[in-house]
A and B are shown apart, each in its own frame.
Chain A
């Protein structure tokens, strides 16, 4: 074959912007036949965007994808599939109401008489594909929705393989699997490689990367910052590249050291043995007045779900002990947590905390309407006093308190949502990724508000998808991995490097 040294797939200068965020900038990638190419990077590095571009889910703003040297128009998932690119998605692309066999063959049903779906042949084909994955125990007739996640993950892989793809993209395929299942998957990847398939492998487990990857590309903030040729991978250099300058500079913007008084104070929030099936296990920590505790880790390791559980967003299944200001609560709806003294500032202002169609003033006063009453009616004067005070204190930029929340910038919207909880002091504040989509100036302002809150004696729980925010804000950081706290950092030890280290640390696999 003349084109045997031509990459099976080459991406050239791929660029993608989402709104004001440059998700991917001028990234090149060359996938060779029979080679496993790993992609690594911290949250927001652009791995998922790159996968989405290759899978045809989003369309690049610039750059092109070439298959066997020829430009390929990957306009949608179907054309990607037709071009021989199959993807195992992190958010599984499966259908809970359909059977395993139906899921595996969706879009490429075997037919009988050119029209009817041949269910029997489909079951046989599905069984063969599952057996190839060493998963004979999965019944092709079972409803997908009734399988545990690990088995669903294997079905997703079988589905990707059903079209016999030339390029296979595996986006964190191992995160839901047990050790034995991971072994099987890695063996399968090895077999596919031997067959000549070009494979993209994304994983947060550096051990797997070291074992299976021929070539490793490192992304940071949407850019390709390094590539390791076969047999040159080094873990320390990889971590350094993922972090960028902050690694060398050891950038520190520490908050004032925690006073001894804080350590001695009774906790405002005490969490013991908190578990939720499939979300997090055995989470223990205390939050004392005067401290900001960060919940860090790679996205989706259960840390956000812990916050949701504390705020009563899970209606059932949460086990363990939650105490706010010494009182035990079993929050099953947000009202219960609020009454106990917890305020929640969410990342998604649209659905979870702000009334975009109401005014700034109405948004802020909504939590304290009972205190603003004079007799039966609301007192406009009391509302104005309260609202203008908070607008000044938080530096909210708005034409006037009657302006609609939806007309403000993202950062100012976030401040308004925070202001509504500052109207009445609470012992515990939960900030759940509050800086998402917020510019640097507004972020600094928000951090100042958070520090003021703890100075005034509240405790703050802080979760962010941006790892650089933890050292700048937190007194202590709990690093989550696969639903457990994999380590706690305090004081000077709170650094991006240490957080990433704990985030990437190999799982102990106590369960296996």
Chain B
């Protein structure tokens, strides 16, 4: 584009409003969360007790972990439809091998995290080096991961030691351990990644891959890293689910693929890459997970639950597409 000169003043809106606009996703999620919990409490006041809040946290944290992983991939303008498959696989491995000794628990945790990095590595290699579309690649690997889970554990089963389950799902006064786990994962993984150049490169690649290449960034390694980080978060989610259900289940991950996408978009992460926060997808996950939990608790029939869940997902993902309509030119719209 070689346009004629334009002299439009830069800051027509105040800077504060611009900053606010960037946090529109997280902010609306925070408001939504208050409303959702408020409505829940009207029907079931016990939900505001320490026990109730812990149970709300516990139904949300797995999705929040998955959504944070998904967001890292989305920031790099990728997509991971195998998040659910990775969760299932790692959950089944953990539940069948954990045993009871402190040593075996620690070993299984480490191995689970390594498997997460490995599944992410497979996705990243196929996409970044094999040049397969993320949609197709992760759709396929999702089947592979789920298939492996079914080979290991054909039916729900396995066992998780009480100590491990307790450590992740109980609470310390009003503070649920599950939230500490989530905060820990963010502090240990997200904060260093996005405080170092890698995080900036992930955003840059998602913003404009061609500019990134021309700027000399190692684009493919950055994409690979984003999928491996998503795998790592999937592994943490899988371990948490194992603790929460004290067993393994070869269908446990299914719902996390689309829900993680919806939570990320709801939290303001752009589907076209380059824009997003960490708090947005976390709050988005809490809103979605609590709504879906409420549908079950308040005896909405299972058929309607699926219907409503699908509808919410479509509206949320549709909102992501709505942004594209802001494009001024049909051609950019088609090329998205």
Residue numbers of A with Cβ under 8 A of B are 55-57, 76-78, 80-81, 87, 89-98, 102, 106-107, 109, 111, 115-117, 142-143, 146-151, 159, 172, 175-178, 277-281, 299-302, 308, 312-317, 333-334, 351-352, 482-484, 511-512
Query: Which of B4, B192, B201 lies at the interface centre, i.e. has the most chain A CB atoms within 10 A of its CB?
Result: B4
Complex contacts, A111 vs chain B, CB 8 Å: 197
CA distance A316 to B333 in the complex (A): 13
Distance (whole angstroms) from the CB of B244 to the closest CB of chain A: 34
Complex contacts, B201 vs chain A, CB 8 Å: 106-107
Q: Which of A89, A178, A301, A308 contacts B331 (CB 8 A)?
A: A308
Distance (whole angstroms) from the CB of B102 to the closest CB of chain A: 32
Supplied contacts A106-B217, A111-B197, A352-B331, 13 more A-B pairs, CB within 8 Å? A57-B213, A57-B214, A76-B216, A78-B218, A91-B1, A98-B204, A106-B215, A117-B200, A142-B11, A146-B18, A148-B8, A308-B331, A351-B335
CA distance A317 to B328 in the complex (A): 8
Contacts A96-B208, A97-B274, A315-B330; is A281 near B4 (CB within 8 Å)?
A: yes
CA distance A317 to B330 in the complex (A): 13
CA distance A91 to B10 in the complex (A): 21
Are A148 and B7 closer than 8 Å at their CB atoms?
Answer: yes
Beta-carbon nearest neighbor of A315 in chain B: B328
Query: Which of B192, B201, B204, B275 lies at the interface centre, i.e. has the most chain A CB atoms within 10 A of its CB?
Result: B204
Beta-carbon nearest neighbor of A57 in chain B: B214
Distance (whole angstroms) from the CB of A307 to the closest CB of chain B: 12
CA distance A451 to B207 in the complex (A): 45
Question: Can you offer 13 A-B residue contacts whose CB atoms are under 8 A?
Answer: A92-B211, A95-B211, A96-B207, A107-B217, A148-B7, A151-B10, A278-B1, A300-B1, A313-B331, A315-B328, A483-B3, A484-B4, A511-B4
CA distance A94 to B215 in the complex (A): 8
Complex contacts, A98 vs chain B, CB 8 Å: 200, 203-204, 207
Distance (whole angstroms) from the CB of A168 to the closest CB of chain B: 15
Distance (whole angstroms) from the CB of B333 to the closest CB of chain A: 8
Distance (whole angstroms) from the CB of B318 to the closest CB of chain A: 19
B167: CB under 8 A from chain A?
no
B299: CB under 8 A from chain A?
no
CA distance A277 to B2 in the complex (A): 12
Q: Which of B8, B10, B327, B334 contacts A351 (CB 8 A)?
A: B334
Contacts A76-B216, A106-B217, A301-B2; is A315 near B329 (CB within 8 Å)?
A: yes
Are B216 and A315 closer than 8 Å at their CB atoms?
Answer: no
CA distance A148 to B6 in the complex (A): 7
CA distance A175 to B11 in the complex (A): 23
Complex contacts, A76 vs chain B, CB 8 Å: 213, 216
Complex contacts, B192 vs chain A, CB 8 Å: 115
B301: CB under 8 A from chain A?
no
Beta-carbon nearest neighbor of B4 in chain A: A483
B162: CB under 8 A from chain A?
no
Q: Which of A77, A277, A482 contacts B214 (CB 8 A)?
A: A77
Are B216 and A89 closer than 8 Å at their CB atoms?
Answer: no
Are A278 and B4 closer than 8 Å at their CB atoms?
Answer: yes
Distance (whole angstroms) from the CB of B241 to the closest CB of chain A: 32
Q: Which of B5, B11, B204, B330 contacts A313 (CB 8 A)?
A: B330
Residue numbers of B with Cβ under 8 A of A are 1-8, 10-11, 18, 192, 195-197, 200-201, 203-204, 206-208, 210-218, 274-275, 327-331, 333-335
Q: Which of A89, A176, A316 contacts B3 (CB 8 A)?
A: A176
Beta-carbon nearest neighbor of B9 in chain A: A148
Are A314 and B2 closer than 8 Å at their CB atoms?
Answer: no
CA distance A508 to B329 in the complex (A): 29
Distance (whole angstroms) from the CB of A130 to the closest CB of chain B: 14
Contacts A57-B214, A109-B200, A351-B334; is A280 near B4 (CB within 8 Å)?
A: yes
Complex contacts, A91 vs chain B, CB 8 Å: 1
Beta-carbon nearest neighbor of B335 in chain A: A351
Are A106 and B328 closer than 8 Å at their CB atoms?
Answer: no
Are B4 and A93 closer than 8 Å at their CB atoms?
Answer: no
Q: Which of A94, A142, A159 contacts B10 (CB 8 A)?
A: A142
Are B211 and A94 closer than 8 Å at their CB atoms?
Answer: yes
Contacts A78-B218, A89-B214, A117-B195; is A149 near B3 (CB within 8 Å)?
A: yes
Q: Which of B5, B196, B210, B213 contacts A176 (CB 8 A)?
A: B5
Complex contacts, B7 vs chain A, CB 8 Å: 148, 178, 511
Complex contacts, B195 vs chain A, CB 8 Å: 115-117
Beta-carbon nearest neighbor of B1 in chain A: A300
Are B197 and A302 closer than 8 Å at their CB atoms?
Answer: no
Distance (whole angstroms) from the CB of B86 to the closest CB of chain A: 27
Are A314 and B329 closer than 8 Å at their CB atoms?
Answer: yes
Contacts A109-B197, A301-B2, A483-B4; is A77 near B216 (CB within 8 Å)?
A: yes
Distance (whole angstroms) from the CB of A349 to the closest CB of chain B: 14
Contacts A57-B214, A117-B196, A314-B329; is A106 near B204 (CB within 8 Å)?
A: yes
Are B329 and A313 closer than 8 Å at their CB atoms?
Answer: yes
Are A107 and B10 closer than 8 Å at their CB atoms?
Answer: no
CA distance A352 to B10 in the complex (A): 34
Query: Which of A98, A102, A300, A308 lies at the interface centre, i.e. has the most chain B CB atoms within 10 A of its CB?
Result: A98
Are A95 and B330 closer than 8 Å at their CB atoms?
Answer: no
Distance (whole angstroms) from the CB of B114 to the closest CB of chain A: 22
Complex contacts, A95 vs chain B, CB 8 Å: 203-204, 207-208, 211-212, 274
CA distance A92 to B3 in the complex (A): 13
CA distance A107 to B197 in the complex (A): 8
CA distance A115 to B330 in the complex (A): 43
The 10 closest A-B pairs by CB, nearest first: A483-B4, A300-B2, A278-B3, A78-B216, A97-B274, A93-B214, A77-B216, A95-B207, A93-B211, A97-B207
